[in-house]
Amino acid sequence: MKPRAAIARLWPAALVLVALLGAWQLAASSGALADGLGLEPFLVPSPAEIGESLWTDRDLLVDNARVTLGEVLLGFGAALALGVATAVALHLSPLVRRVSYPLVIASQTIPVIVIAPVLVVWFGFGIGPKVAIIALICFFPIAVNTLDGLGTVPAEQRRLLRSLGAGRWRLLAMVEAPTALPFALSGAKIAAAVAVIGAVFGEWAGAKEGLGHLMLVDNAQLEVARLFAAIVWLSAIAIALFACLSLIERRIAWWGEVAEADERGGAR
C-alpha cells in the first residue's frame, strides 16, 4: 500500500481519536466526568495525566512491557504451530475431525480467568502458565480459520491434480496450503489482538513482573494514571502485532486480497 493511500485510510480514524481524547480531556479537567461516574477526581485521570505517566514512569513501563511481550510472542507462536497442525490433521482425516473437532470447540468454553490460577498452582509463577493461557486463547481462531481455508479449494481443482497423478500430500502442498494461507493469517490477526488478554489474566493469577502485575499494584496503590498508561502499552503491543501480521499477509499471501477485491467488484 502506498503512503498516500495509507494516510487516506487512516486519517478519519485519527480524527475521531483526537476528538474523543479532546472530549475526555475537557470532561476530566472540569470534573464533569468524575461527577458523572460518582467518583473522586483523582480516580479519573485525564489523557494529559496519562501521557505524563507514560513519560515519567517510562522505565518501569518498558521493563514490564518487555516481559509481557515475551510472554505474548511465545504463547502466540505456540498457538500458531498447534493451531495449524490441528487444522491439517482435522482436514486430512475425517475420523479425527469427527472425534476431535468438538474438543477444539470445547477448549473455548473453559473460562480463562478460572483456569489461570489452576495452571499457576500446577506449574508455579514462571512463564509457563502465562504461555499456556495465551496459547489457549489464540489457538481457536487460528485452527478454525485454517481449517475453513483448507476446505475452500474447488472440487474441480482437486480432480484435475489427481488426474495428473498428484497424491494427497502433494495436493495439500500445491493447492490447499496456499489457498488456506490467507485464512490462517486472518485467524492469526484475530489471535494477536486478543493475546494480550491472556497475558494479563496469567499475570493476575500469579506473577512478579509484567504489565498485568503492574496493573494490580497500581490498582492497590491508586496509581490510576499509571494503570491507564499500562493499558496504553498493552494496546500498543496488540496493535503492533496486528500490523506486523497484516504486512506479512500482504507480502506472502497477496492473492487473498486480490480475491477479496474481485468478490467486491463482482458484488457491485
Phi-psi region of 222 (alpha: psi -120 to 50; beta: other; left: phi over 0): left
Q: What pLDDT is recorded for position 264?
A: 47
Cα separation, 152 vs 155, whole angstroms: 9
Q: What pLDDT is recorded for position 261?
A: 44
As a whole number of Å, the CA-based R_g of the chain is 23
Q: Count CB atoms within 10 A of the CB of residue 212.
A: 25
Residue whose C-alpha is closest to residue 20's, from 31, 33, 7, 2: 33
Q: Which residue has the cell 480524527?
A: 15
Cα separation, 179 vs 148, whole angstroms: 10
Q: Which residue has the cell 509484567?
A: 210
Cα separation, 194 vs 134, whole angstroms: 9
Q: What pLDDT is recorded for position 231?
A: 94
Residue whose C-alpha is closest to residue 211's, from 191, 227, 188, 194: 227
For 72-101, give the secondary structure using H, E and C: HHHHHHHHHHHHHHHHHHHHHCHHHHHHHH
Residue 108 within a domain? yes
The range of the structural domain enclosing residue 132 comes to 64-262
Residue 92 within a domain? yes
Torsion of CA 151, 157, 163, 166, to 10 degrees: -60
Residue whose C-alpha is closest to residue 118's, from 201, 215, 48, 197: 201
Sequence-distant (6+) residues with CB within 8 A of 200 are: 68, 211, 212, 215, 234
Q: Which residue has the cell 467518583?
A: 39
Q: What pLDDT is recorded for position 258?
A: 44
Residue 5 within a domain? no
Secondary structure of residue 179 in the 3-state scheme? helix
Residue 12 within a domain? no
Cα separation, 134 vs 201, whole angstroms: 9
Please answer whether residues 201 and 112 qualify as being in contact, where contact means their C-beta atoms are separated by less than 8 angstroms. Answer: yes
Domain count, the chain: 1
Q: What pLDDT is recorded for position 1?
A: 53
Cα separation, 164 vs 18, whole angstroms: 59
Residue 257 within a domain? yes
- String of DSSP letters for 96-124: HHHHHHHHHHHTTSS-HHHHHHHHHHHH-
Residue 55 within a domain? no
Residue 221 within a domain? yes
Q: Crossing angle of helices 47-56/58-92, nearest 10°?
A: 100
Q: What pLDDT is recorded for position 257?
A: 55
Q: Which residue has the cell 510472554?
A: 71
Residue 23 within a domain? no
Task: Tell me the average confidence (pLDDT) per consecutive run of 10 residues in the chain, 268 residues long.
Answer: 60 83 83 74 84 92 95 95 93 86 81 80 83 91 92 75 72 82 92 91 87 92 92 94 90 63 48
Task: Give the CATH number of the domain where residue 243 resides.
Answer: 1.10.3720.10
